[in-house]
Amino acid sequence: MRIEKVNSSIKRELGAMLELGEISDPRISFVTIMNVDVSKDLQHARVKFSTLSDAPKDIQAAVKGFESCCGYIRKLISQRLEMRTTPEFQFIYDKSVKYAADIDKTLEEIKELKKAKEGDADEAL
């Protein structure tokens, strides 16, 4: 139970930092924190994020932006959350948003094809 609370607290604080502009790196200006997974020993945290753009260069820039300000983020988290140790952060791009958008697009295309076929069948009668 404690791990889930730590995960949600870190996610909330990271989101607030990004929203309030406390992290001023322009490479991570259009980033959303999707999930935080802290290890059981609270030493490491995997932070999954998504970007507004799914271009590989923007994703790579966001990863580099997070890596460059990782120490500052860790310092802010340690100041805001009362934890014995603050985890080391690893930032990972979350592909699930793009994957869900691709599935949604495919389903829409199927729906349009189905409508077109039904329209052709109605015209044939």
The string of pLDDT tens digits covering residues 59-99 is 999 999 999 999 999 999 999 998 888 999 999 999 887 88
Do residues 35 and 87 both lie within one domain?
A: yes
Alpha helices in 1-125 (DSSP H): 2-20, 56-68, 70-80, 96-124
Residue 29 has pLDDT above 70, yes or no: yes
Q: Look at the pTM and tell me if it is higher than 0.85.
A: no
pLDDT tens track for 105-124? 899 999 888 888 877 666 65
Do residues 15 and 70 both lie within one domain?
A: yes
88-93/44-51 β-pairing: parallel
Phi, psi torsion values for 57, nearest 5 degrees: -70, -35
Q: In a 3-state reduction of DSSP, which class is residue 36?
A: strand
48 strand-pairing partners = 35, 92
Do residues 89 and 101 both lie within one domain?
A: no
Q: What is the dihedral of CA 27, 28, 31, 34, to 10 degrees?
A: 130
Q: What is the dihedral of CA 66, 68, 69, 74, to 10 degrees?
A: 80
Do residues 90 and 30 both lie within one domain?
A: yes
The residue length of the chain stands at: 125
Kindly report the CATH number assigned to the domain that includes residue 72.
3.30.300.20
Q: Alpha-carbon Rg of the chain, whole angstroms?
A: 20
Give how many domains the chain has, as a whole number. Answer: 2
Q: Which residue range forms the structural domain that includes residue 119? A: 95-125
